[in-house]
A and B are shown apart, each in its own frame.
Chain A
């Protein structure tokens, strides 16, 4: 049998090539002995790689590139607007993460080259996952995303919690992956295809309503729900978030979520669209559980990272509303909210990193007490971030939630819209607690004997937060306000992404 090489659209693939190529360059540069190269040039190269990916993505916008077209089937990887939006989100999150890690402890412990190379590899996996039109590619993307993250979680090797976090994530993550793979296998078994279009044909035909197919859908939803922190598959989230080095947590929180939702949208809304009446009610129930669990879980937290972890669970529930309705509006709303979610979370994590380095309180809420007076340039971004996460008007989080509710109401899930509103109402309690701590409480007095040692370690001499932390915090905070007041540019992008799946 003559093997025919698949047709590869190199231009279309370029955003991923930039990431993987960057990973190799960074890895090699990390081998150089000069401290200057390792500590300055390597992060810089990583930023260049992310930036190149972002730029190439912009170049490819609207091209709808289909790469890896094997004979007689659909492309396994599509660089349509949905994939590119996820690429943008991942690249922006990547740049921010590199900036946050630049002078952090983690890359120094794990060796700089390896740290950033893992970050870039994971990002490439995320893009691949969001663009996968084939079950095999999808799984490949998932693993390429996950494995580097397991390692990244454990990069602060001399801190127990970091190791614990990495190991827990690995074990639970593997369980999730196994479940996901099993689900994919069942779907393949039921429909006879690994290609999403073949699956769609199969599901519309005789395989529709088949127990095998339905079980497969169930298992894949669990697998993706795990990555997206959907309850009740979220248990790894608080531990994983808290234990991992904070810059890595930031990356995990925003980029993984974008990739998981990108893949979920494509798999469910393209491949399994005809089974929508079967999976939509379930997903709506999961969304409700997630919103309740996330918001209740966040209520009593005193660690900011744990708080954001539970909040990310709740936010995943809101995002699910856009998936449930399986409409072009739903996809747009989900993508829009993912972009917004990235901005507000990056602002929060940048402030947490800054305060971790500056105070002995780690990520405890005490670390931000009173910074309204002493560090207004950090207090404002965190305030904006919290208000936006809670969905207060004039922030991007408000219009994002509005959009999701609109999609839910439009798709006949008014009750889910109500759940979102009530969920955001509950969430005010814990977000406002952080805001109150910043503005209404006095700064917690200096180091006492029993206080934890400085976690930062990075620059022991650094008394004030470094400029790059301010840059990330202020840029992300400003973007949150900007897109809250003038959301139309982002709307246009999200609408294009929504149309790319060919839904109504």
Chain B
């Protein structure tokens, strides 16, 4: 099977799954729909491996294949084909997306077992995977935009999956709006580039990358970055991601950690021939990435909602990737994307298991001492935590250092980023292990004790953990049953596999030892400048990274591991201003509220009041209550005044138009 055929089948599997589940899912009994959905993604994964094998069997020059299904729209100036680009970069993304998705589907088979929207969940999830694969496989800007928008729509559907929960729908709308802003940026950016290059095709555009440099290219790339920032939750378009944790936990693991939010990183890597031509646009990406990774980590230090801590950590880690790929560390950025997908998905899955054991409660303040009750979850959380903290030999250790190595090697002002990167690495270790020490150590809470006696805590009246509102367990709300990894085999398999990958995933690119990933991605990034940092810098970076990871864990232990976290309380009391600033998330939500939402609200109210009152309510109310008899209706309508207003407006408009021409003449 040729690589392109296989790649098309990679796309076909989840699409077929979506349609099958959407149309006939309700007819399938029990957990069959979940297994069907999982099988569809497994099919994708298998075909991705076949495509990978075929690509590897070709010569290095022939590893960029374009395959077109049919001419989508061919006219004078646009020539869009249903075409995919199969090269090492897209294959790597396909493997990561389909592989991690497969495991998360498997996890969800058990985890979502008690939910009334079981079939709907898998139909949406399959749709998401299709969209994401379309995004990474797209061979031109047009399909990229399509995939980009689909992914946003799927994310919206899944965030507000529990659509009768007010907080979930609000979060979904927030995510959707910010993502649409990103879509607009991406679309306009594509048009700016189209204007210069005359083609929407990726390879065609890249071929003329050197000729099209200029202001239009920079503007186009910055607009593309707006799209990337919105999707990848980079400042200032990040506020939707923490709220997106309202979605079911597998969704957080798949979409808001492992795959969708890394689309921005993929986009920058994909567009690297263009970014090479525009230093300004690349610098914007680098700086925003650096700011995000730092800010998000500081918020992660104080957040108390378990899933939100991991969400801020995701933002921060994607900040590393965005900074990396923008600064030219393409392979390193994608390497971190891959390892992050493993360990972050693992952390979310473990968090999901823990939340289930708490009966839906997500606050870290209420969790303590689950170590004995949930040994498997604890183990998985630790593996994920070690990888995230960057402790050798776990995967995150190698990938993060690789990014910082290249950034440091750039020299100049990039040294600041190098330092910021390592300072944040320390914070990363602290906030990660803060979660672990708070949730798993100390005296067990009643839920943990109950679990040790072999019974999962069950709440009689389910409440929304965010607001404390009482809820149903009917459709549109979380289901009544809870599932933990210790008791559900599918969850165990999924988490176990990811734990292994999170441990050994770094093996593909160990400095001075293996260069597998580098060699594999070579055909895509052949034209990018190579970095060859000195040995001293490599060893210094590795040693520093390892030391900071261990130091961070030690600090976390000192503050939260000992004496049930009394030091933490004292610290908070000592520095109330800092705490307030961080717990309010640097006031970004308030800032956006002030700068964007309120003016938009005024605008909307103006629209409603002026338009509604004058034209709608006026005619509607005036029209119906004023007119009594049908016979006089016509006359009344004529005299109501509104008609006169219409004619007057028409004449005013007419006057304006004529005036325009007279001024022209």
Q: Which residues of A does B touch, CB under 8 Å?
A: 158, 160-161, 163-164, 167-168, 171-172, 175-176, 179, 209-211, 214-215, 217-219, 221-222, 226, 231-233, 235-236, 238-239, 278, 282, 286, 296-297, 299-301, 306, 328-329, 332, 392-394, 398-399, 402-403, 405-406, 409-410, 414, 417-418, 421-422, 425, 428, 440, 486-488, 491, 494-495
Within 8 A of A (CB), among B76-93: 76-78
Specify the chain A residue showing the minimal Cβ separation from B185. A421
Interface string of B604-622 (1 = CB under 8 A from A): 1001100110011001000
B637 engages A393 (CB within 8 Å)? no
A210, A306, A486: the one contacting B665 at CB < 8 Å is: A210
Residues of B within 8 A of A168 (CB): 637, 643, 646
Minimum CB–CB distance from B148 to chain A (whole Å) comes to 9
| In the complex with contacts A218-B661, A278-B664, A394-B146, A163-B630 CB distance below 8 A | yes
* A-chain residues with CB within 8 Å of residue B649 when the two chains form the complex: 232, 235
CA distance A278 to B647 in the complex (A): 26
Given contacts A164-B637, A421-B188, contact A176 B650 (CB under 8 A): yes
Residue of B nearest to A211 (CB): B665
Which residues of the partner chain A approach B612 to less than 8 Å between Cβ atoms? 300
Contact with A along B134-147 (1 / 0, CB 8 A): 00000000100110
Taking the closest CB of chain A, its distance from the CB of B192, in whole angstroms, is 8
A-B contacts, 22 of them at CB < 8 A, read: A167-B634, A168-B637, A172-B647, A175-B650, A214-B662, A215-B662, A218-B657, A219-B654, A219-B657, A226-B650, A233-B653, A235-B650, A278-B664, A300-B612, A300-B616, A328-B76, A402-B142, A403-B75, A409-B191, A488-B74, A491-B74, A491-B75
Q: Which residue of A lies closest to B653 (CB)?
A: A232
Instruction: Give the complex CA separation of A409 and B191 in angstroms.
Output: 8
CA distance A417 to B77 in the complex (A): 15
B450 to chain A, nearest CB (A): 36
| Complex alpha-carbon distance, A494 and B74, angstroms | 11
> Any chain A CB within 8 A of the CB of B658?
yes
**Are B76 and A495 in contact (CB-based, < 8 A)?**
yes
| B153 at the A interface (CB under 8 A) | yes
User: Taking CB as reference atom, which chain A residue is nearest B656?
Assistant: A232
Report whether B650 and A406 are in contact in the complex, using a CB–CB cutoff of 8 Å.
Answer: no
* Contact status B70-A486, CB under 8 Å: yes
A414 to B192, CA, bound (A): 9
The answer, yes or no, to whether B413 is at the interface (CB within 8 Å) is no
Contact of A171 among B72, B623, B633, B638 (CB under 8 A): B638
CB-based contact A299/B615 at 8 Å: no
Identify A232's interface contact among B74, B142, B619, B650, CB under 8 A: B650
Report the nearest A residue to B658, measured CB to CB. A218
B630-646 residues with Cβ-Cβ distance < 8 A to A are 630, 633-634, 637-638, 643, 645-646
Contact of A414 among B74, B163, B169, B195 (CB under 8 A): B195
Q: Is B280 an interface residue (CB 8 A)?
A: no
- B191 and A414 within 8 A (CB): yes
Q: How far is the CA of A425 from the CA of B630 in the complex (A)?
A: 42
A296 to B645, CA, bound (A): 19
CB-CB under 8 A for A239 and B619, given A222-B657, A418-B188: yes
Contact assessment for B73 and A488 in the assembled complex, using a CB-CB cutoff below 8 Å? yes
A167 to B657, CA, bound (A): 26
What is the interface of chain A mostly: helix, strand, loop, or mixed?
Answer: helix
Q: Which of B153, B656, B664 has the most CB of A within 10 A?
A: B664
Residue on A with the closest CB to B633?
A160
Q: How far is the CA of A328 from the CA of B650 in the complex (A)?
A: 31
Q: Kindly list chain B residues whose C-beta atoms are within 8 Å of the C-beta of A487.
A: 72-73
B665 touches A425 (CB 8 A): no
Closest A residue, CB atoms, query B651: A175
- Given A164-B634, A218-B658, 5 more A-B residue pairs with CB atoms under 8 Å apart are A171-B643, A217-B661, A297-B611, A410-B77, A421-B187
Measured between C-beta atoms, what is the minimum distance from A440 to chain B in Å? 5
Q: Which residue of B lies closest to A495 (CB)?
A: B75
Q: How far is the CB of A99 from chain B (nearest CB, A)?
A: 27
Cβ of B180 within 8 Å of any chain A Cβ, yes or no, is yes
B39: interface (CB < 8 Å): no
- CB-CB under 8 A for A233 and B623, given A172-B643, A221-B657, A491-B74: no
Q: Bound state CA distance, A402 and B658, in angstroms?
A: 32
Interface residues in B561-615 (C-beta closer than 8 Å to A): 603-604, 607-608, 611-612, 615
Q: Which residue of A lies closest to B476 (CB)?
A: A440
User: What 0/1 pattern do residues 51 to 80 of B give for CB contact below 8 A with A?
Assistant: 000000000000000000011111111100
Q: Which 4 A-B pairs have the closest CB atoms?
A: A296-B607, A214-B661, A232-B653, A393-B146
Task: Give the residues in chain B near A231, CB-CB below 8 Å.
Answer: 653
Q: Mark B106-148, 1 if CB is under 8 A from A, else 0.
A: 0000000000000000000000000000000000001001100
| With known contacts A211-B662, A232-B653, A393-B150, A405–B637 Cβ distance under 8 A | no
In whole angstroms, how far apart are the Cα atoms of A160 and B633 in the complex?
A: 6
Q: Return the CB mask of B449-469 against A: 1 if under 8 Å, else 0.
A: 000000000000000000000
A477 to chain B, nearest CB (A): 15
Asked if B184 and A214 make an inter-chain contact with CB atoms under 8 angstroms apart, the answer reads: no
Asked if A403 meets B73 with Cβ closer than 8 Å, knowing A219-B654, A222-B657, the reply is: yes
Tell me the complex Cα distance, A219–B651, Å: 11
Q: A238, B627: Cβ atoms under 8 Å?
A: no
- Residue B194 CB within 8 A of the other chain: yes
- Using Cβ atoms and an 8 Å threshold, which residues of chain B touch A440? 163, 169, 476
Counting chain A CB atoms within 10 Å of each CB, the highest count among B181, B608, B646, B652 belongs to B646
B-chain residues with CB within 8 Å of residue A233 when the two chains form the complex: 650, 653-654
In whole Å, how far is B613's beta carbon from the nearest beta carbon of chain A?
10
Partner of A296, one of B72, B181, B611, B661: B611
Could you say which of B153, B184, B657, B664 has the most chain A C-beta atoms within 10 Å of its C-beta? Answer: B657
Kindly identify which residue among A164, A300, A495 contacts B607, using a CB–CB cutoff of 8 Å.
A300
Q: Please give the distance in Å from A220's CB to the nearest CB on chain B.
A: 10
